[in-house]
Amino acid sequence: MSQDRYRKVPSARLSRLASFGQLAGGIAGGMMAEGVRRLARGERPQMSDLLLTPGNAMRLTDQLSRLRGAAMKLGQMISLDAGDLLPAELTAILARLRDAAHFMPPAQLNQVLQAEWGKDWRRRFARFEATPVAAASIGQVHRATLPDGRVLAIKVQYPGVAASIDADVDNVATLLRLSGLLPDTLDVAPLLAEAKRQLREEADYLREAEQMRRYGALLADHPAFVLPAPVVELSGERVLAMDFLPGQPIETLLQASQDVRDSAMAALLELVLRELFEFGYMQTDPNFANFRWQADTGRIVLLDFGAARAVPDATVAAYRRLMHAGLAEDRAALRDALLAIGFVSPVTLERHSGSLDAMIDVLIGHLGRPGLFDFADRSFVAEVRRHAETIAADRAAWHIPPADTLFVQRKVSGTALLAVRMEARLPLRDMVAAKLA
């Protein structure tokens, strides 16, 4: 394991603030250098052009991966949720945040575990592997073996992460405001408040253990999924112990046959529909690292339940209305449903109804094709992007959907993105219609 992956997590407030200052200074320097280069070529660059460069994106991902916590989590959300909207180069660089987290040095790890389990914590295990098997935004995972031979996965939260959530979110928001990327008229306060609440919940490992048990009961008899069970006596707010379930990254599923890929993705898509319309409860983080593939059993390992949350009845009803309109291929009903669910605002509808209707027509034409829906067919994306850019260019029409809608859509979009990656072909319309019946 490269020593470059080991970096102490800055846990004190001042040290984290200094890291943000270093980040802002590096980005500003990058913007000035890029501006000079473009002016020398006779160009008149916009502020956003100078900010959204590969060099600045690299600075952003490197610093966020060192900070970890809420700052890195927000970067991961951007990389996953941006989909086809960001330039391909920037999307690829931001995607590094999904697996670029550094590890705690052994001394810092030992301090965390001593605080949780006491100085003699190693006596609890026959073996504890010091090198993490995974590292993410809030914690890292170690494999351990109990004296009776039971193999566990131990998720250890980075020190200071929970206490830094509010400040990290505010600092990221400040960077966005200073960049000029967000219009002054855009009220991001409600979204930031909800993001803080969500991240505080994800940092509570006792809560996650409860959600893990809940999903384990909901899916106990489902042949396509397997979930770990928490180990109560070894778990606390900052350390979560659970069964270690073997599996490969979900991307390895792409090596399987078309039938196997389709079956696995059908199970994941059905799970999303059940969460929305049957459970009224959803694990809203579709990060690919939260799914593992067991080629020998043909099952998908489901991990990480910190982002599980109830879906309000009003949001469920709005999605039901939206999907009914889509199945009916009713443009007017779809426009009304998009307005009701909060994807578009009255201002957007008033100023850009033509572009919005054109986007709806493209999507209806693509989704309405008979037979299996081919997720790998992205022929419609360029035209949708062209109309979306017209709307996005009008900063006065920018709009943030309700937080509950965003969290649900994050799961829906992330699952669709995985289906695209797996080149799945599914009876999409039939699956949706069956859940709406």
Q: In which band, very low, low, confident or very high, does the pLDDT at 197 lie, cut at 50, 70 and 90?
A: confident
Strand partners for 426: 373
Integer Cα distance of 81 and 72 in angstroms: 14
Burial label for 302, CB within 10 Å (0-12, 13-18, 19+), is buried
Catalogue all structural domains in the chain, each as residue range(s) with its CATH number.
3-101+164-181 (no CATH), 105-157+204-244 (3.30.200), 246-437 (no CATH)
Higher model confidence: residue 393 or residue 315?
315
Tens of pLDDT, residue by residue over 15-63, are 444 444 444 444 444 444 444 344 445 544 444 443 445 555 555 555 5
Q: In which band, very low, low, confident or very high, does the pLDDT at 74 lie, cut at 50, 70 and 90?
A: low
pLDDT of residue 368: 81
**CA 240 distance to own-chain centroid:** 21
Is residue 73 within 8 A of residue 165, CB to CB? The reply is no
Least confident range from 95-99, 202-206, 280-284, 323-327: namely 95-99
Instruction: Return the amino acid letter for 392.
Output: A
pLDDT of residue 199: 83
**CA 77 distance to own-chain centroid:** 4
Both tokens of 240, joined, read: 């979560």
**Residue whose token pair is 């609440």:** 197
**CA 145 distance to own-chain centroid:** 30
Number of alpha carbons in the 13 Å side-chain half-sphere of residue 112:
25
Tens of pLDDT, residue by residue over 209-242, are 999 999 999 999 999 999 999 999 999 989 999 9
- Give me the mean pLDDT over the 171-179 stretch: 65
Q: In which band, very low, low, confident or very high, does the pLDDT at 185 lie, cut at 50, 70 and 90?
A: confident
pLDDT of residue 34: 40
User: Does residue 82 register a pLDDT over 90?
Assistant: no
- Give me the mean pLDDT over the 107-111 stretch: 92
Is residue 429 within 8 A of residue 324, CB to CB? The reply is no
pTM: 0.80
- Give me the mean pLDDT over the 404-420 stretch: 91
Other CB atoms within a 10 A radius of the CB of residue 79 amount to 22
Active-site residue, from 168, 204, 262, 285: 285
Least confident range from 118-132, 175-189, 255-269: namely 175-189
DSSP summary character for residue 256: S
**CA 435 distance to own-chain centroid:** 25
Burial 319-349 (b: 16+ CB within 10 A, else e): bebbbbbbeeeeeeebbebbeebbbbbeebb
Q: Which residues contact 382 (CB under 8 A, 6 or more apart)?
A: none
Both tokens of 263, joined, read: 């079956």
Is residue 199 within 8 A of residue 217, CB to CB? The reply is no
Least confident range from 28-42, 159-173, 347-361: namely 28-42
Integer Cα distance of 317 and 57 in angstroms: 38
Q: Active site includes 285?
A: yes
Instruction: Return the amino acid letter for 364.
Output: I
The C-alpha angle 177, 76, 306, rounded to 5 degrees, equals: 115
